[in-house]
Structure 1
Amino acid sequence: MAADDQSVKEAVNEPELSIDPETVCFLIIKAREFDVKVDPDDPDSGSNPTDDKEIDILENRRSDPTYAELAGTLEALNDDQLSDLVALTWIGRGDYAKNDWAEAKAQARLNSSKTTADYLLGTPLLGDFLENGFTELGYSCKEVQAEHL
């Protein structure tokens, strides 16, 4: 981040993220894709998805490519980035306010472990909570998407 960008952040008192906003937006999208899945309900799944009316794609399975992308992205992050995500989730869920960012992140760091990614993956409505927290801190996925158009 350039010095001018840093001073603008400080002037408007927006917390600094150690995770790239693009990554947060990607995780929001993938978490929402995964959240809409349902428990497996096709015990006689055949080898041809067309014969099964393609319903297996909506089922929540560990072998699901959406889960694999989400888990792989989370597992590739460092502890500071995972702490940001946990703190964003807590702010988005209403456990902390925007002004409590430093406290939420410190608490997330204290609770961080090798299972932090599993904690996030097991959080219902993760995509919604992440987006709520992201927005609360003054960020937007629309702005990130606009940069790439």
Structure 2
Amino acid sequence: MVALPFNTTRIEELVLRLNAVMAKEGAVISDLGGNATDDELAVTMQETKGDLIRDEITQEIESMNDEQKDGLVALFWIGRGDVEPAEWEQTKALARQQHKGLVSRYLLGQPEIGEFLTEGLEKMLEFGVD
């Protein structure tokens, strides 16, 4: 049986925050129009430099130990369909070999990160984990 290097609840909470970040748009709307109530929603959905949610996610991922970071990347790859749960240990090792830069930057650069982490976690739970 495979052991995940983190609590599944922690990953589920991370996915919720990742989805919130990914829902934001990078574009700035110069003229929001004339309705102040509607304008507030558009501003809320804009990602700003130094966005605390993105910063918190980056800090959380980068504070993980190497095995947890490798596991997070492996979950992403499994969820994306690149590998199967049975290849868990080899996939973590490959993630370790391919580390170039921040893991958080790699993961936050993936548009469907939340969906793929969720799918990967589901596949791993079906496969059987401790």
TM over 0.5: yes
The alpha-carbon deviation at position 44 of structure 1 amounts to 5.2
Task: For 2:66, give the aligned amino acid.
Answer: D
- What TM-score results when the alignment is normalised by the length of structure 2? 0.83
Alignment of 1:41-80 (within 5 A): 41-43=28-30, 52-80=39-67
Task: For 1:59, give the aligned amino acid.
Answer: Q
- 2:85 is aligned, of 74, 78, 98, to 98
1:68-124 CA deviation, whole Å, 9 max, x = no partner?
Answer: 221121121111111000000000000001111111111011112442221111111
Task: For 2:55, give the aligned amino acid.
Answer: A
Distance in 2 separating the partners of 1:19 and 1:89:
14
Per mean C-alpha deviation after superposition, the further-off stretch among 64-73 and 118-127 is: 64-73
Task: For 1:134, give the aligned amino acid.
Answer: L
For structure 2, list consecutive stretches of 5 or more residues without a partner in the other structure: none
Q: How many residues align?
A: 123
Distance in 1 separating the partners of 2:37 and 2:29:
13
Contact 2:62–2:102, Cα closer than 8 Å, also in 1:
no
Distance in 1 separating the partners of 2:17 and 2:24:
11
The alpha-carbon deviation at position 51 of structure 1 amounts to 7.8
Task: For 1:23, give the aligned amino acid.
Answer: R
For structure 1, list consecutive stretches of 5 or more residues without a partner in the other structure: 1-9, 140-149
Alignment match, 1:142: none
Alignment of 1:134-149 (within 5 A): 134-138=121-125
Superposed CA RMSD: 2.0
> Are positions 1:23 and 2:10 aligned together?
yes
Give the % identical residues.
Answer: 30
Q: After the TM superposition, which segments of 4 or more aligned residues of structure 1 sit over 4 Å from their partners? A: none
Q: What secondary structure, in the 3-state scheme, does the structure 2 residue paired with 1:18 have?
A: coil
Distance in 1 separating the partners of 2:48 and 2:84:
34
The alpha-carbon deviation at position 50 of structure 1 amounts to 5.1
Task: For 1:97, give the aligned amino acid.
Answer: E
Per mean C-alpha deviation after superposition, the further-off stretch among 84-93 and 53-62 is: 53-62
The structure showing larger relative contact order (alpha-carbon pairs under 8 Å, at least 6 residues apart) is 2
Distance in 2 separating the partners of 1:62 and 1:17:
33
Q: What secondary structure, in the 3-state scheme, does the structure 2 residue paired with 1:54 have?
A: helix
